[in-house]
Amino acid sequence: MNKKPRLGEFLRTRRAQLQPADVGIPDFGERRRVPGLRRDELAQLAGVGLSYYTRLEQGSSLNASPEVLEALARALGLDEVERAHLHDLAAAPRRTTTRRRPAPERIGDATRQLVDAFGDTPAIVLGRRSDVLAWNRTGHALFAGHLDPRISEQADLRPNMARLVFLDAHTRDLFVDWPKKARNVVGKLRLAAGRHPDDPLLASLIGELAMKSPEFAKMWAEHGVRKWALAAYRMHHPVVGRMELNLQSLNVPETAGQRVVAATAGADSASAAALSLLAGLDTPTAPRNGPAETPERKSTLTDSPR
């Protein structure tokens, strides 16, 4: 990922989305040559010099102070997640990490015990790139029952939820609220890219999705970021039918971006009954160290290097 202009891209996108009326700037009916605010208007709102702000957008200034970033965040009306992302982007060019192939992500024994403790509640563990690191039997049945859950020690056999959401027809049909799910996936990848700008595997995944999915490319260009802990989705499972589920994301302590995602439904609801039916199906047992696809699906879902 090219780190240098990414702060400028984020600022330009957010500036274009902010209308003068949103920040109290009078509109006298003049024809504006750019969408949203002009550079000078945003610089004035943030209390920074126009030439300095222009250098930030162009990527020629790499020393934005926390105070300047906070002023820009206030002027742009950024929320807490977007504000943190802005600081991550500004810090990226100053990092001196060596770009090299990262070690495969693994889950610890405590995380495996946590997944087991969910019992029949569907649960999966996702890594910072949205790779599926582990799932319980019901988690596999809910999210990827069309894939082979056999154990595999090879990291390049792991499914990737971002790839599944955008490139796999089964997963797309699973989410009735697919655009909502897709934007949440893109927003999480944006956060990961800001925090890990030197991750070549993450860069490869993003490049692959942008090439293969016009919808991903469009959403990626919007620079939206998401950090959800609870999201409600309407889902249509091919075996148990329609469900309204809450997906809750729990950060795994002392890991770089790993999270457990569990699916629940309201007590005594039709969706809860569907989950119980799903748990009672005679499906293969999920592997202890993570799932793997069948060989014929590997080229579609895991063809980027790991």
Query: Are 82 and 114 part of one and the same domain?
Result: no
Please give the share of the chain, as a percent, with pLDDT higher than 90: 44
Instruction: Identify the CA nearest to 147 among candidates 268, 278, 252, 297.
Output: 297
Q: 103 in a domain, yes or no? A: no
| pLDDT attached to residue 157 | 79
From first CA to last CA, the distance across the chain in angstroms is: 16
Does pLDDT of 289 surpass 60? no
Q: Are 271 and 177 in contact (CB under 8 A)?
A: no
More confidently predicted of 157 and 10: 10
**94: which residues sit within 8 A by CB, 6+ positions away?**
62
Residue 132 has pLDDT above 80, yes or no: yes
For residue 176, what are the contacts with CB-CB under 8 A and spacing of at least 6?
A: 233, 234, 235, 236, 242
Average pLDDT, the chain: 83
In the chain, the amino acid numbered 121 is T
122 and 268 belong to one structural domain: yes
Indicate whether 150 belongs to any domain.
Answer: yes
State the pLDDT at residue 3.
Answer: 47
Which pLDDT score, from 0 to 100, does residue 97 have?
56
CATH number of the domain encompassing residue 269: 3.30.450.180
3-state helix, strand, coil in the chain (%, to 5): 50, 10, 40
Q: Residues 66, 116: one domain?
A: no
- Output the pLDDT for position 1: 46
User: Same domain, yes or no, for 52 and 127?
Assistant: no
The predicted structure's pLDDT at residue 154: 54
Residue 297 has pLDDT above 60, yes or no: no
pLDDT of residue 28: 60
Check residue 270 and give its pLDDT.
96
Q: What is the mean pLDDT of residues 240-253?
A: 94
Please check whether residues 181 and 293 belong to one and the same domain.
Answer: yes
Per-residue pLDDT, averaged over 178-190, amounts to 94
Are 302 and 157 spatial neighbours (Cβ–Cβ below 8 Å)? yes
Q: pLDDT by residue (tens digit) across 56-70?
A: 888 877 778 889 999
Residue 271 forms part of a structural domain: yes
Residue 299 clears pLDDT 90, i.e. is over it: no
pLDDT value of position 19: 83
Q: How confident is the model at residue 17 (pLDDT cuts 50, 70, 90)?
A: confident
- Does any domain span residue 100? no
Say which residue the tokens 């160290």 belong to.
289
46 and 184 within one domain:
no
Q: Are residues 150 and 284 in the same domain?
A: yes
Give 145 or 25, the one with higher predicted confidence: 145
Closest C-alpha to 288, from 120, 123, 152: 152
46 and 154 within one domain: no
User: What range defines the domain where residue 288 resides?
Assistant: 109-301
88 plus 125 within the same structural domain: no
Lowest mean pLDDT among 17-21, 85-89, 176-180: 17-21
Predicted local distance difference test score (pLDDT) of residue 93: 64
* Strand 123-126 relative to strand 259-264, pairing: antiparallel
Q: What are the structure tokens assigned to 49, written together?
A: 């010099």
Residue 99 forms part of a structural domain? no
Mean pLDDT over residues 6-14, rounded?
Answer: 87
Residue 160 above 90 pLDDT? yes
Residue 124 lies in a domain: yes
pLDDT mean over 126-132: 92
As a whole number, mean pLDDT of residues 89-101 equals: 67
Mean pLDDT on 20-41: 77
- Give me the mean pLDDT over the 196-208 stretch: 91
Is 1 a domain residue? no
Count of structural domains within the chain:
2
Question: SS3 string of 243-266?
Answer: EEEEEEEEECCCCCCCEEEEEECC
Is 125 a domain residue? yes
Within this chain, do residues 114 and 83 fall inside the same structural domain, yes or no? no
Q: 13 and 115, same structural domain?
A: no
Q: What is the DSSP string of 8-32?
A: HHHHHHHHHH--GGGGT----SPPP
- For residues 28-56, give the mean pLDDT: 83
Cα–Cα dist 185/161, whole Å: 8
Q: Which of 61, 94, 127 is the last residue of a domain?
A: 94
Q: How confident is the model at residue 275 (pLDDT cuts 50, 70, 90)?
A: very high
Domain boundary residue, one of 94, 118, 135: 94
Least confident piece of the model among 43-52, 85-94, 117-126, 206-215: 85-94
In this structure, what CATH number is given to the domain that contains residue 10?
1.10.260.40
At which of 71, 94, 117 does a domain end?
94
Q: Do 142 and 27 belong together in one domain? A: no
